[in-house]
Structures are given as structure tokens and as C-alpha cells.
Amino acid sequence: MDHLAVLVDLQARFLETTRRADPAARIPWLGRWTVQSLVVHLARIHHWAAGQARRQQESPLGRGPFDLPALYEACARELRETLAELDPAAPAWALIDDGVPRAQQTGTVAFWHRRQVHETLVHLWDLRTAIGEDLDVDDRVWLDCLDEVVTVMHPRQVRLGRIAPPRVRVVFAPVDADARLELAGAPADAPTAVVRGSARSLALLAWGRGVPDDDRLAADGVEVEGERALAEAAVRAGLTP
């Protein structure tokens, strides 16, 4: 997958939606956040990620108020240009290296190509959903997003002590892909829960998206075979930051 090309497309769609969305519109599944909060957040993340790719501390953007489209456009461009300029194999500060001695770090610029695709993807879904619009994205991108949760984000949450390892073997089985992705860390003799649904629905489930108080494992056609209660507890613990 050409992550940089996907990022360019997703950023363009996020910017276009930002220009017509009501900044005060609420995003209930993100607590007190509004469209304005979301746009400023993603702009700041792009700016920060560009610094991480360059192995430089980013300069503060300030507290605002901001012209939202202008802010996002500038930060998105900074990230794109940074990633296009740097060799994907060049060393970079990356989330996979938290707590790892400098000499043993393995992060590269390519990490940020992928990470920022998924950051933008999930927040574009947030933005479009908040204003009542659908989002059409290739299933392969959603599958890649789910894979990143299982192989990068969830192990990092456990490694940093933010959550405990799961008590059940949670296996994500997308119905639209030949893949089975299992959360790491469960005991070898733990029971199994197979969570089935589209790659999109499973990725959004893994990222904690949904309406408050809804049963997220029943949302969007997701079904569970096996230890449902333990699987739900594992998901609700927070697979991602």
C-alpha cells in the first residue's frame, strides 16, 4: 500500500469537510469534543508527527483561536512535505520505541506514513459521521488500520502499563478479508472470542468509536463467537490511546 498517496487523499477529504462543517457540532462519542476540537487536534497531531519524523521537537502552534481550514491545510501540508522529502527508511522517533534505549530503537519515517494514514482515517470518519455523512474508503485501508491496532497500538498500551493484558484470546476475523488478527498477551490456556464484522466495523470498534451506552460489539453488524463478556471487557479497556 502506498501510504503517502492514501494520506494525501484522506487529508484532502478532511480539509474539504472541514470547510463546510459547523465548528460547534458535537461529537458525542468523543466526550465534550466538537468539530473545532477535532480539527485542531488532528492539525496538532500532523504538526507533531512531522517533528517526530525529522527527530526534532515541534514548535508550539499556540492556543488559538484558529481559522480551522487554514490551520489544518498548513499542518497537513507540512506533514506531507516532510514525509515526501525524507527517505522512508531513515531513522525517526516512533511510538514503537517508547522506553527503548536510543541505540536499540528501530523506528523509521515509514512508521509515520502508516500511522498518520490511520489517524486521519479515524478522524475523518469522526468528522463525516458528526455531520451525518458516510465515508467511502477502500476496505484494505480499514484492514490495515485494524492490523495497526493489533500489532502496534494495543501492545504499546500494555507495555506502558495503561491496560492489563487481555484475559481472553480476542481474534478479529474480518468477513471481507482473508485475515485473523489476535490480540497479544492472553494466557496460553485462555478462552477464545472470535469477533466478526467488516474490516471497517472492526477497526472502528478497536478505536472505541460508537454512541455512548450502546453495546459496541453489536454495532454495525459485529458478532462475537465465544467469550463475549471477556471480549467486550478487553475492547472497553482501551486498545488504543
For residue 70, pLDDT beyond 70: yes
Percent of the chain at pLDDT > 90 equals 87
For residue 214, pLDDT beyond 60: no
Tens digits of residue pLDDT in 119-145: 999 999 999 999 999 999 999 999 999
Reduce the DSSP state of residue 80 to 3 states and report it: helix
Q: Which three cell numbers stand for residue 189?
A: 490456556
What does DSSP assign to residue 59? P
Q: For residue 191, name the pLDDT band (cuts at 50, 70, 90).
A: very high
Element spanning 226, H or E: strand 223-226
Tens digits of residue pLDDT in 75-99: 999 999 999 999 999 999 999 998 7
- Closest C-alpha to 61, from 87, 91, 39, 89: 39
For residue 220, pLDDT beyond 90: no
What pLDDT shows up at residue 22?
97
For residue 161, pLDDT beyond 80: yes
Grid look-up 507533531 returns 48
What pLDDT shows up at residue 212?
46
Total-model pTM: 0.94
**In the chain, what's the furthest Cα-to-Cα distance?**
54
What pLDDT shows up at residue 63?
86
Q: Are 50 and 77 in contact (CB under 8 A)?
A: no
CATH number of 142-236: 3.30.1050
Tens digits of residue pLDDT in 8-35: 999 999 999 999 999 999 998 999 999 9
The packing angle between helices 68-85 and 35-54, to 10°, is 20
Domain ranges of the chain: 3-136, 142-236
Tens digits of residue pLDDT in 31-68: 999 999 999 999 999 999 999 999 999 998 988 899 99
- Closest C-alpha to 203, from 238, 174, 236, 167: 174
What does DSSP assign to residue 88? T
Mark 118-156 as b/e (b = at least 16 C-beta within 10 Å).
bbbbbbbbbbbbbeeeebebeeebbbbbbbbbbebbbbb
**Fold entry, domain 3-136:** Four Helix Bundle (Hemerythrin (Met), subunit A) (1.20.120)
